[in-house]
Structure 1
Amino acid sequence: MPEGEARPQPVERVGPPLVADERTMLRAYLDFHRATLAVKCEGLDDDQLRRAASPPSTLTLLGLVRHMAEVERAWFRRTINREDVPLVWSERGDFQAAYDASSASGAEAFAAWEAEVAAARRIEEAAASLDVTAPHAKTGEPVSLRLVMLHLIHEYARHNGHADLIREAVDGTVGA
């Protein structure tokens, strides 16, 4: 996608089931929140995606997408799958670097985020159960896949609230 163009593809967002087993429910809620972030960015060009809409905050929709790519990678690939990979935008492990989308493109950020989401889905689906554990990167304490999925749901929900406010300030679009 050339610089400045809007993301053309519509996002399919399916509501989570009302009744399901725990793993299906966690998957569905996580996918719902992933899709919500994409919906919040739908139809915006790169300049709009990079617009800090609530000064003095520098938070942007594109910064949120980049941040969530880092979060997906850190928890699923680096923690649960124990892959020795750097963060997407910082080899020093600086999660804040992802928020700086001042020179980023939507195409680059969405490609990275979508790749991390796909990897996370593969890792989760391959896990024997939600009770699979891996050492936490900072503390070394065991962390379960269940906790990771719940944490990601929480993280997306929180940032989707930010995305609501940013999107409304960018072009007046409201609602999820």
Structure 2
Amino acid sequence: MDGMITITSERPKPSTHAGERDMLEGWLDHHRATLAHKCAGLTDEQLREASVPPSVMSLMGLMRHMAEVERHWFRRVLDDEDAPPIYYTDAEPDRDFLVTAEDSGDEAYATWQQEISVARERAATRSLDDASLGRHRSHTDPLTLRWILTHMIEEYARHNGHADLLRERIDGATGH
């Protein structure tokens, strides 16, 4: 049986009176911590457990996917860095979600947290109005940091809904 991974699950509460930047960053950090909270206290085996066939979505897959998402928006789009994928390939574009018995929660969590750390560093030096240096395949114009932060909140919120259902299926835990 896989050992339980250690995930910090304390979640910051977004301010109700902050300025725009603090509000956006507060909500993004809240959603990042919400996903960690949904993964906390589970074994690798539980983190690998898929939702319902034919879906392969799992909590470990969500951590891996969000590492790729953080990397994409803050390295590739915001900074135009040539950052290669972490988990997926051209041949396997959904590889971040395709976890195997060899994949570990500790590695997925550490990689995801590293990408969050880089994302925070990249965003910290920019104004909300600063335009991205790179482009996203569905946007021909540069995107502002404000747009990227808002999109990241939406991305996490959507996947946290998936995480709610996955966690409830694994051990019955509900709530936020």
Match of 2:164 in 1: 164
Report the residue type matching 2:94 in the other structure. Answer: Q
User: How far apart are the structure 1 equivalents of 2:32 and 2:163?
Assistant: 12
Counterparts of residues 72-151 of structure 1 (less than 5 Å): 72-92=70-90, 95-103=93-101, 104-127=103-126, 129-134=127-132, 135-138=134-137, 139-151=139-151
Report the residue type matching 1:124 in the other structure. Answer: A
Report the residue type matching 2:113 in the other structure. Answer: E
Secondary structure of the structure 2 residue equivalent to 1:98: coil
Match of 1:62 in 2: 60
Secondary structure of the structure 2 residue equivalent to 1:149: helix
What do the CA deviations read for 1:86-130 (whole angstroms, capped 9, x no partner)?
111135396522111124210111111000000000011111x11
Q: Is the 8 A contact 2:31 2:157 kept in 1?
A: yes
Q: Is the 8 A contact 2:7 2:39 kept in 1?
A: no
Higher mean displacement: 91-100 or 153-162: 91-100
User: How far apart are the structure 1 equivalents of 2:56 and 2:41?
Assistant: 21
Given candidates 43, 46, 49, the residue that maps to 2:44 is 46
Q: Post-superposition shift, 1:60?
A: 0.3
Secondary structure of the structure 1 residue equivalent to 2:136: coil
Cα distance change on mapping 1:140 and 1:123 into 2, 3 Å: same
Report the residue type matching 1:8 in the other structure. Answer: T
- Name segments (4+ residues, structure 1) moved above 6 Å: none
User: How far apart are the structure 2 equivalents of 1:146 and 1:93?
Assistant: 33
Q: Is the 8 A contact 1:87 1:93 kept in 2?
A: no
Q: Is the 8 A contact 1:67 1:95 kept in 2?
A: no
Cα distance change on mapping 1:94 and 1:17 into 2, 3 Å: farther
Q: What runs of 5+ residues in structure 2 fail to find an aligned partner?
A: none
Q: What runs of 5+ residues in structure 1 fail to find an aligned partner?
A: none
TM-score by length of 2: 0.92
RMSD over aligned Cα, in angstroms? 1.6
Match of 1:71 in 2: 69
Report the residue type matching 1:143 in the other structure. Answer: L
Identity of aligned residues (%): 46
Cα distance change on mapping 1:56 and 1:159 into 2, 3 Å: same
Number of aligned positions between the proteins: 173
Q: Is the 8 A contact 2:6 2:106 kept in 1?
A: no
Q: Post-superposition shift, 1:84?
A: 0.9
User: How far apart are the structure 1 equivalents of 2:16 and 2:135?
Assistant: 32
Q: Is the 8 A contact 2:80 2:135 kept in 1?
A: no
Report the residue type matching 1:174 in the other structure. Answer: T
Cα distance change on mapping 1:148 and 1:15 into 2, 3 Å: same
